[in-house]
Amino acid sequence: MEEKTVLSMKDICKNYYTGGEVQHVLKNVDLTVKKGEYLAILGPSGSGKSTLMNIIGCLDIPTSGEYVLEGEEIGDQSEADLSRIRGQEIGFIFQQYFLLQKQTAYENVELPLVYANLPERKRRERVEECLEKVGLTDKMDYYPNQLSGGQQQRVAIARAVANHPSILLADEPTGALDQKTGSQVMDLFQSLNEAGNTIIMITHDAKIAAHAHRIVRILDGVISEGAIEDA
């Protein structure tokens, strides 16, 4: 049985116009991701990886080309529809966590479920389940400033998986962490992938990318696949 395609990009281009000049940031990108994959997009600063991440995450739309996410053509969506798709289909994990400082770990994880209008009882079940997955059941009443960097990132991961999104989209997820804590977060990603989560990780670090099962390189807006020689 063929694996389900979660996202498909065909001939994606992204141009920016500054001072009468055209900057071609993404150049004819083709990318397909199957359900359950663990993919790393690897590239240096200025390679176009952040632009590609923004398009994958429906934070931006391409200048041209076709992007289909879970059967929906993204380029045709309104801002309201893009917001809905982000909330339902994408679980974002950022380098700086972006937790609400006046909300507990529990409340941070609960937030996307509130937006999704999930009943309170189901919200509690889901939040407790997600915090258990990341090993923070005993910290649910803690505020971000009472947690270590690694614990904050695990809360952010719990929040990202709360709505059972189609994709976990992680942007330099260990960038603000020390090596040991970063390694623990990578182990958690491995566990989440083994549990069936589709993960796309954006990184400039070949050693971090090597944790993924498939690697796509991006350089000057062009992507290619292959082994990492310098990992």
- pLDDT tens digit string along 38-64? 999 999 999 999 999 999 999 999 999
Report d(CA 73, CA 61) in Å as an integer: 11
Query: Which residues lie below 8 Å from residue 39, measured CB to CB, with a gap of 6+?
Result: 33, 199, 200, 201, 212, 213, 214, 215, 216
**Please, where are the H alpha helices in the chain?**
49-56, 79-89, 105-115, 120-133, 149-161, 179-194, 206-209
d(CA 173, CA 122): 28
Q: Three-class SS of residue 139?
A: helix
Q: What is the pLDDT of residue 26?
A: 97
Pairing of strands 64-69, 5-18: antiparallel
Backbone angles phi, psi at 41, to 5 degrees: -105, 110
Q: Which two tokens stand for residue 105?
A: 């770990």
Residue 12 has pLDDT above 70, yes or no: yes
Q: How confident is the model at residue 229 (pLDDT cuts 50, 70, 90)?
A: very low
**Cα 146 from chain centre:** 25
Residue 219 belongs to what H/E stretch?
Answer: strand 214-219
- Given this model, what pLDDT does residue 3 score? 79
Judge whether residue 105 has pLDDT over 90: yes
> Tens of pLDDT along 118-144?
999 999 999 999 999 999 999 999 999
Using a pLDDT cut of 90, give the percent of the chain over it: 86
Q: Position 116: which residue type?
A: A
Other C-beta atoms within 10 Å of 11: how many?
A: 13
